[in-house]
Structure 1
């Protein structure tokens, strides 16, 4: 836990993403439009996180963006079934966005929802780049994935990705690009609908904590505020 909490990424109180616009196309719900949307969003995330990590002398390279079309897809982490819990998925430098998992029938033309979701998965890429992902999984495997300690570490990992997602949306909202106040507000409000209360699992955090960590990142834009590994257990339940 100390090695995770003391990671250089999380100990500089002034480190955050630069405020900058992000230009993404509109969201007519179709596979081709979604691919254009996420491709543009990835470039914004590459620019912001690449700039920050490089300035901190930490490794950076973009993830490989994939758009699976079937009911399942194969990754280095195994075969993944596409459903409401796999709107996007990250595994070892690959960021997968299967269109049929995005629930466009429910969310329609709400780019803030899709952008926050995508930025969360990109947050896992940041964790992998700097070694936080492997360190967290070492604990999960050692303790057991379904053990109380293993599940808590999984929640810490996921809630940090939430905080990173909030950082990105907060740093790019109202900067003259596509992330308007309305887009940001939609993302802000949607976080309360996500988490373990909705999914019935115990590995991502309650809906309240899912929203709280996202909003902390959005309001602070400081990596140190996203140190879920140093947070008390009561904040990552």
Structure 2
């Protein structure tokens, strides 16, 4: 809040002059002009501050994070609502992304994902640097059994999943669920990379800390999971917008991807189809990490 003392803090030896200064229309216009100038300066320097989540009210209070851990003495779970990634309006960097042709062969799919991850590394580099986070490239595998956390999904088979720094894209599962539509593969990869960003920023560990306080599969526990997944949806929408700017996707394809409803199959843990679409569109439209603050969003936005 700006509060100035101005002429009110000074005495004038001429009473009539003081009275005129306090009531003159020119003086009032001058004050209004000064206020307008300050507001205009804020908008020009930081236009995202006018959008949801980007008012900057919590800037300067978020802790430093290294290797996914906040600075000593800071409650890990507090990184959900107060994380440097989402308390600042950060945007993805431009890339020189060139992707190979996507086919159903194991070799071509692996090559496509590896190149895609490099594009994501480039795009997210500015955000991670801006939030004071370390950069690290995730591993990519097509083997669903290569992870010790496959059992965390229970009886539900996901299309893909992220675990301990590795993006798992089982070839048979992916082809069964989305075929060879290139845009869908790129958005799926961007969603799982969003989880990688959550890991580097401490959000993933913080969500586990909060979930450990709750009964497994309870409504409160599932709400934590949905906020995590919907944030990854928002991050994927940001990357799709970046891919349009970099000539990787055409705008029509991108708008169709972010505008399509999500899957109802995993609604309990990933959010309703409408909310999955809502958060993808938010990332695509706003292009700012501040738009992806699912942890402070109202309940109806994360159902």
Distance in 2, matches of 1:24 and 1:186, equals 20
Superposition deviation, residue 12 in structure 1: 1.1
Distance in 2, matches of 1:42 and 1:143, equals 34
Residues 92-107 of structure 1: matches in 2 within 5 Å? 92-104=164-176, 107=178
Residue 7 of structure 1 is matched in structure 2 by 83
The C-alpha deviation readout for 1:135-183, integer Å capped at 9, x for no partner, is 111111211231111110100000000000000111121423x322244
Q: Does 1:179 align with 2:270?
A: no
Q: Does 1:218 align with 2:284?
A: yes
Pairwise CA RMSD of aligned residues?
2.3
Q: Name the structure, 1 or 2, with higher relative contact order (CA <8 Å, separation 6+).
A: 1
Superposition deviation, residue 89 in structure 1: 1.1
Is the 1:167–1:221 Cα contact (8 Å) retained in structure 2?
Answer: yes
Q: Does 1:59 align with 2:134?
A: yes
Is the 1:85–1:199 Cα contact (8 Å) retained in structure 2?
Answer: no
Residue 89 of structure 1 is matched in structure 2 by 161
Distance in 1, matches of 2:101 and 2:119, equals 15
Aligned pair count? 227
Is the 2:141–2:167 Cα contact (8 Å) retained in structure 1?
Answer: yes
Distance in 2, matches of 1:147 and 1:82, equals 15
Residue 227 of structure 2 is matched in structure 1 by 156
Is the 2:283–2:291 Cα contact (8 Å) retained in structure 1?
Answer: yes
Superposition deviation, residue 75 in structure 1: 1.1
Distance change (3 Å), C-alpha of 1:29 and 1:80: farther
The C-alpha deviation readout for 1:178-235, integer Å capped at 9, x for no partner, is 3222441342244x1x23xx21551110000001101100111100100000001110
Distance in 1, matches of 2:93 and 2:125, equals 11
Distance in 1, matches of 2:167 and 2:136, equals 13
The C-alpha deviation readout for 1:75-97, integer Å capped at 9, x for no partner, is 13244789984221100111111
Query: For the pair shown, which has the larger CA radius of gyration, 1 or 2?
Result: 2
Residue 169 of structure 1 is matched in structure 2 by 240
Q: Secondary structure at the match of 2:269?
A: coil
> Which range moved further: 41-50 or 82-91?
82-91
1:209 to 275, 279, 287: 275
2:189 to 106, 109, 118: 118
Structure 2: segments with no counterpart, 5+ residues: 1-76
Distance change (3 Å), C-alpha of 1:25 and 1:97: same
Q: Secondary structure at the match of 1:49?
A: helix
Is the 1:65–1:96 Cα contact (8 Å) retained in structure 2?
Answer: yes
Is the 1:67–1:97 Cα contact (8 Å) retained in structure 2?
Answer: yes
Structure 1: segments with no counterpart, 5+ residues: none
Superposition deviation, residue 29 in structure 1: 2.4
Distance in 2, matches of 1:201 and 1:213, equals 14
